[in-house]
């Protein structure tokens, strides 16, 4: 059993939890993820690690309530436990000193997994800029934490209530316009956002990585649930990823698979809430 040490509501329906998981915390690296199960009967939930404290043996996760399983997780409180917390899984981010500025782009709760990447990139000696996007200012998360590990933050909101009005791609364009020499962008967030960033940076010639979080079942490359097409090759996000070259990902296929699962999840949530 894995104990929940702390629970915080970051914005409506978005929660942060500190989980006691010393073995995961000892080994995990930026960009990796865990798969948890709330109870014996529960579905497996893949979540990219938002933060870790090796000494205290704590992993921080950030999740949004979108279906039955995340609803069950959100119902847990500090002091409660969850049955499974497997990890670290997947390949870590490529962290090195780049020839130019490193930009992390987080949309919605995608900001959370960009945090350990930004921190590791900074520790590797890079200039790091974070672009954080949200629908409105009230649901921006982790701004303070991100400001502590980056050189600059650009905020975008759909309604213009904070920062640049519009999408995260506007902020990327702003950096390009002012002559920032961007060596790499890592974008994490809704698939449609990652696709937009990929389309924009392809034209701008900026190497871009996205972290994919499709449906996962076993997390070991055996079930095929997390299959994605990257550069005409079939890859499994759980073992080959979760990060891939954004310019090679087949986003239309990924979006259609996600739609299928989302409908099933909505039905299940409906069933539970009735
Ligand atoms: Fe089963 Fe990746 S989750 S192959």
**Residues 117 and 197 occupy one common structural domain:** yes
**Residues 97 and 202 occupy one common structural domain:** yes
User: Distance from CA of residue 26 to its chain's centroid?
Assistant: 20
Other C-beta atoms lying within 10 Å of the C-beta of residue 6? 14
Determine whether the shortest distance from the Cβ of 216 to ligand 1 is under 6 A.
Answer: yes
225, 214 Cβ separation under 8 angstroms: yes
pLDDT at 267: 56
**Residues 159 and 246 occupy one common structural domain:** no
Domains in the chain, number: 3
pLDDT digit string (tens) for 190-216?
999 999 999 999 999 999 999 997 677
pLDDT at 272: 46
Mutate to test the pocket of ligand 1, among 33, 36, 220 (most ligand atoms within 8 A of CB): 220
Residue 238 annotated as part of some ligand binding site = yes
Any domain includes 42: yes
**Residues 241 and 194 occupy one common structural domain:** no
**Residues 77 and 152 occupy one common structural domain:** no
Calpha distance 101→25 (Å, rounded)? 28
pLDDT digit string (tens) for 63-114?
999 888 899 999 999 999 999 999 999 999 999 999 999 999 999 999 999 9
User: What's the gap in Å between 239 CA and the centre of ligand 1?
Assistant: 8
For the chain, report the end-to-end CA distance as a whole number of angstroms: 29
Positions of the chain with pLDDT under 50: 272-274
Any domain includes 221: yes
Residue range of the domain that includes 238: 212-264
Q: Nearest-CA neighbor of 91 among 5, 32, 25, 48?
A: 32
Cβ-Cβ contacts under 8 Å for 188 (sequence gap 6 or more) = 48, 104, 105, 106, 107, 110, 111, 113, 114, 194, 210, 211
ipTM: 0.98
Q: Nearest-CA neighbor of 13 among 71, 84, 90?
A: 71
Mutate to test the pocket of ligand 1, among 219, 234, 244 (most ligand atoms within 8 A of CB): 219
Question: Does the N-terminal peptide bond of residue 142 adopt cis geometry, omega within 30 degrees of 0?
Answer: no
Give the helix ranges, DSSP H, for the chain: 22-27, 68-74, 111-123, 143-149, 168-177, 191-204, 251-273
């Amino acid at each position: 059993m894995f104990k929940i040490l702390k629970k915080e509501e970051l914005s409506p329906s978005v929660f942060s939890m500190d989980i006691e998981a010393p073995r995961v915390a000892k080994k995990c690296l930026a960009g990796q993820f865990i798969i948890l199960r709330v109870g014996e009967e529960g579905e497996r939930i893949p979540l990219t690690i938002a933060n870790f404290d090796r000494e205290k043996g704590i992993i921080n996760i950030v999740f949004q309530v979108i279906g039955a399983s995340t609803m069950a997780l959100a119902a847990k409180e500090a002091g409660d436990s969850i049955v499974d917390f497997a990890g670290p899984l997947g390949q870590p981010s490529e962290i090195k000193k780049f020839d130019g500025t490193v930009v992390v782009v987080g949309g919605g709760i995608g900001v959370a997994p960009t945090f350990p990447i930004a921190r590791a990139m900074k520790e590797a000696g890079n200039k790091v800029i974070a672009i954080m996007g949200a629908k409105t200012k009230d649901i921006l998360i982790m701004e303070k934490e991100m400001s502590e590990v980056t050189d600059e933050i650009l905020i975008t909101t759909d309604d213009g209530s904070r920062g640049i009005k519009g999408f995260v791609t506007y902020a990327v364009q702003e950096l390009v316009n002012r002559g920032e020499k961007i060596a790499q962008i890592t974008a994490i967030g809704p698939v449609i956002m990652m696709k937009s960033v990929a389309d924009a940076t392809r034209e701008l010639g900026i190497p871009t990585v996205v972290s994919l979080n499709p449906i996962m079942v076993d997390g070991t490359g055996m079930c095929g649930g997390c299959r994605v097409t990257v550069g005409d090759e079939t890859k499994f996000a759980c073992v080959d990823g979760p990060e891939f070259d954004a310019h090679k990902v087949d986003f239309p296929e990924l979006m259609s698979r996600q739609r299928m699962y989302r409908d099933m999840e909505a039905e299940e949530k409906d069933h539970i809430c009735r």
